[in-house]
Amino acid sequence: MFASVIVSITASDVNKIFEYKIPEGLTDMIKVGHRVVVPFGPRQIQGYVVDIKDEVDYDPARIKPIIRALDVEPVLTPELIRLAGHLADHYIASYISVIETILPAALKSRSKKMLSLDNPGGEASLTWQGMNLPPEVEVKKLSTSQLAALKPFIASGEVTEKTVLTQHTKQKYARALKPTFAPRGDFGRAHKQLELLDFIEQHDEHVLLSVVLENGYTAGTVNELVKKGYVERIDVVVDRDPYKSRVFEEDLPKALNREQQHAYEKIKHAVDEDIPETFLLHGVTGSGKTEIYLQTIAHVLDKGRTALMLVPEIALTPQMVNRFKARFGDEVAVLHSGLSHGEKYDEWLKVRNGGAKVVVGARSSVFAPVEKLGVIIIDEEHETTYKQQDRPMYHAAEVAKYRSRYYNCPVILGSATPSLESYARSERGVYTRLELNHRAVTEALTETKIVDMSIEHRNGNISIVSEALKEAIEERIRHGEQTVLLLNRRGYANFQICQSCGHVPNCPNCDISLTYHKAQFSLMCHYCGYEDAVKRECDSCGSDEVTFRGTGTEKVEEVLKDMFNTDIVRMDNDTTRRKGMHEKLLNTFEQNEIPILLGTQMIAKGLDYPNVTLVGVLNADTMLNIPDFRANEKTYQLLTQVAGRAGRHELSGEVIFQTYNPDHYAIELARSNDYRAFYDKEMAFRRLARYSPYYFHVLFTVSHETVQKCLEATTHIHKMIVDNVTDRAIIVGPSPSPIERINNQFRFQILLKYKNEPNLLEVLHEINLHYNELYKKEKLSLKIDVDPKYIM
């Protein structure tokens, strides 16, 4: 028997399958999906079994055997292995990089070089003992002189060098007490021991020692029972469950209105008939899309199948988890980057072992090792966070559709503001569109106003808060209601500027100005993380006439506190870095009835608070100025989504957009919540400019520390593309990227637009292979982004 193995090396020249012999003792154990340790040259490395066969095409005597298996059960299912191959091909990535993206970080191996004395006795033994070394020693712990002294014995084989592989995170164990049920003797006056023994024997298998101590028993009492043979100490696996101490009130299914019922029945039919249909659930904010998700999943579980539920932002996860845990209890596993490696590993194990039937999480949850999938749901499907920005640059929706075809189950893409690509597919019948045009709980009208900030400034108001918004906030505070304010820019000020010479401090590594953060009293780059102290004098002319311009959330928080004399909850990347802060801040806002929640786009979607009756957007123009063809779409989506946070229950809501472009159609149509009009207007622009969804895109980005190398590489790539595509394709570039330098790397790009290019995939792989080799020699990096979400 032979195993086809992908080894854990990302180099392009080993991005292929290697054959290994399965030793006789392992033939019944090793299956497709197992992690194994294999010899690779002089090393031992981790690999993944992707196929098992009876014969190979070359001399079996030359094939090395697998050393050992790392797991009792395979970590990958055959379906996930097939998926990895598909994604590697489609997104121009290495097979192993996709496999390691699919698996939790805890399963990635760490290696260490170990030396041991092979044959005690002789000169090697004397040298070893003279250094006072343990039986095995890690190479990196030896001094240079020690290693030099042992080198001859390594060469002669008297000292053995081997590689030991371990994984990042293992299962967590805890001490427990197990009753032996031995016949009881006379306890005399040891009443506490007898009481404790009764307590332990109530748990037939075991009880955690921590639970015993929490119930008031002492370690001394435990020791006496162990000594008498009534109890034995054991170690048991425990789950690192981030929700273990939480109590969720049961949430019963709610009655569906006519629109919800129609959508549910359509999806239910696809579930019952095993149809891999993709539904676009287009529902206005507050229309009850989540209740449809919940009832669909309940139906799937009744059929003995499983469900995947994806949300775009970690900030959305707490409320979504609450609803799912309240409806489905312990059958829910949660997977997102906010969990520790250990917590995520335990949740992953729970899913793989069948202990959870419903998975809720962010983008990478689409790879959860669930089997018998009955439905995959992607909420807020328009969000760009579903696209991975690092290799492999996959999109979660494409992964979901592939898995749905494998399991013959439907995919639900839900959004109040669908991506133009998804809506266009629903227009052509590729997706089945289901419309929810009315709010589920209330029909209370939400009034939306646009405030022209240029008029405000002409009237003498130079504050970031318009008079209309100020009055509306004051009214909410008087009535004990809450306000959500959006400013999609963190930090205190956009930049520091010298009023004498106009000098603006820039990041030394990137072509971008540094942002002022008052709390740290520093200037920071939001691209590479560079940080510099604020200087009182200009670096260019020495003047002390330095000031700060622009406004971020940190400064606005200060302004609002002074203006309204009230508490503020601020949510941005600076306040949510620590684990659990998303949920903590949202709970503070809701439970303490803080009047104002201020944040970046992480607060714009998914939040559902009955007391929020006012939403204010402090600068509706922020995303309009991005040099990207999706700028108008992103602006419309963000404004519509955040507007939907107001008046979601019995109380009516009000929305105020502050802008310098009151007549821009993205802002005007967000005010009237007219998605169809926006779609028609934006599609006309896309058709004229020949952008998606009328064309597919591939973005090539070359990075190097010199401009010349970038130009040479992009010129070469341009020629390769021209030589291998039809004259119907459109090639834009080579040109500098909108941000030309990041982290001391100059960046040039080419954008390919096409409709149908039969040879394209082959050409992309050829280009990628060429520049993988070039990276080793010249550190010139190429990223090929298929279907990019950012042209930046």
Domain assignment present for residue 344? The answer is yes
Domain assignment present for residue 218? The answer is no
Is the torsion defined by CA of 237, 238, 241, 247 positive or negative?
A: positive
Clarify whether residues 452 and 429 are in a common domain: no
Domain count for the chain: 5
* 62 Cβ contact list (under 8 Å, min separation 6): none
Integer CA distances (angstroms), 644 to 120, 249, 469, 665, in order: 75, 26, 17, 19
Domain assignment present for residue 115? The answer is yes
Clarify whether residues 43 and 155 are in a common domain: no
Clarify whether residues 62 and 137 are in a common domain: no
CA angle, residues 298, 302, 305, in degrees to nearest 5: 90
Domain assignment present for residue 507? The answer is no
The whole-angstrom separation of Cα 781 and Cα 762 is 20
Written as one string, the DSSP assignment of 676-713 is HHHHHHHHHHHHHHT-TTSSEEEEEEEEESSHHHHHHH
Q: Which CATH number does the domain housing residue 15 bear?
A: 3.40.1440.60
Domain assignment present for residue 329? The answer is yes
Beta carbons of 25 and 74 less than 8 angstroms apart: no
Please state the residue numbers annotated as binding site for Zn(2+). Answer: 498, 501, 507, 510, 525, 528, 538, 541
pLDDT single digits (tens) 266-321: 999 999 999 999 999 999 888 889 999 999 999 999 999 999 999 987 655 667 77
Residues in the chain: 792
pLDDT single digits (tens) 552-578: 888 888 889 999 999 999 988 888 877
Clarify whether residues 17 and 162 are in a common domain: no
Q: What are phi and psi of 111, to 5 degrees?
A: -120, 150
Residues of the domain holding 336: 258-436
Please state the residue numbers annotated as binding site. Answer: 498, 501, 507, 510, 525, 528, 538, 541
Beta carbons of 124 and 154 less than 8 angstroms apart: no
Q: Which residues of 116-142 are buried (b: 16+ CB within 10 A; e: fewer)?
A: ebeeeeeebbebbeeeebeeebeeeeb
Which of 367, 402, 436 is the last residue in one of the domains? 436
The residue whose two tokens read 């689409």 is 366
Residues of the chain with pLDDT under 50: none
Q: Which CATH number does the domain housing residue 417 bear?
A: 3.40.50.300
The whole-angstrom separation of Cα 685 and Cα 363 is 30
Clarify whether residues 153 and 286 are in a common domain: no
Clarify whether residues 139 and 91 are in a common domain: no
Q: Which long-range contacts (CB under 8 A, 24 or more apart) does 200-207 make?
A: 200/225, 200/231, 203/179, 204/179, 205/178, 206/176, 206/177, 206/178, 206/234, 206/236, 207/176, 207/177
The end-to-end CA distance of the chain, in Å, is 50
Report which DSSP code applies to 141. Answer: G
Using a 10 angstrom Cβ sphere, with 0-12 exposed, 13-18 middle and 19 or more buried, the burial of residue 239 is middle
pLDDT single digits (tens) 323-381: 888 888 888 888 876 666 777 777 888 888 888 999 998 898 999 999 999 999 999 99
* 267 Cβ contact list (under 8 Å, min separation 6): 279, 292, 296, 375, 410, 412, 434
The whole-angstrom separation of Cα 75 and Cα 349 is 9
Clarify whether residues 593 and 716 are in a common domain: no
Side-by-side strand order, sheet with 172-179: 207-208, 172-179, 231-238
Beta carbons of 657 and 449 less than 8 angstroms apart: yes
Nearest to 381 by CA among 447, 431, 322, 335: 431
Q: Which CATH number does the domain housing residue 749 bear?
A: 3.30.70.360
Structure tokens at 711: 């130009």
pLDDT for 169 equals: 54
Chain centre to alpha carbon of residue 17: 29
The whole-angstrom separation of Cα 686 and Cα 420 is 10
Domain assignment present for residue 593? The answer is yes
Clarify whether residues 587 and 486 are in a common domain: yes
Clarify whether residues 609 and 461 are in a common domain: yes
Clarify whether residues 269 and 404 are in a common domain: yes
* 477 Cβ contact list (under 8 Å, min separation 6): 564, 566, 595
Clarify whether residues 270 and 417 are in a common domain: yes
CA angle, residues 738, 627, 781, in degrees to nearest 5: 30
Domain assignment present for residue 296? The answer is yes
pLDDT for 447 equals: 86
pTM: 0.79
Clarify whether residues 58 and 138 are in a common domain: no
What residues pair up with 7 in beta bridges, in sequence order? 47
Domain assignment present for residue 565? The answer is yes
The maximal CA–CA distance of the chain, rounded, in angstroms, is 97
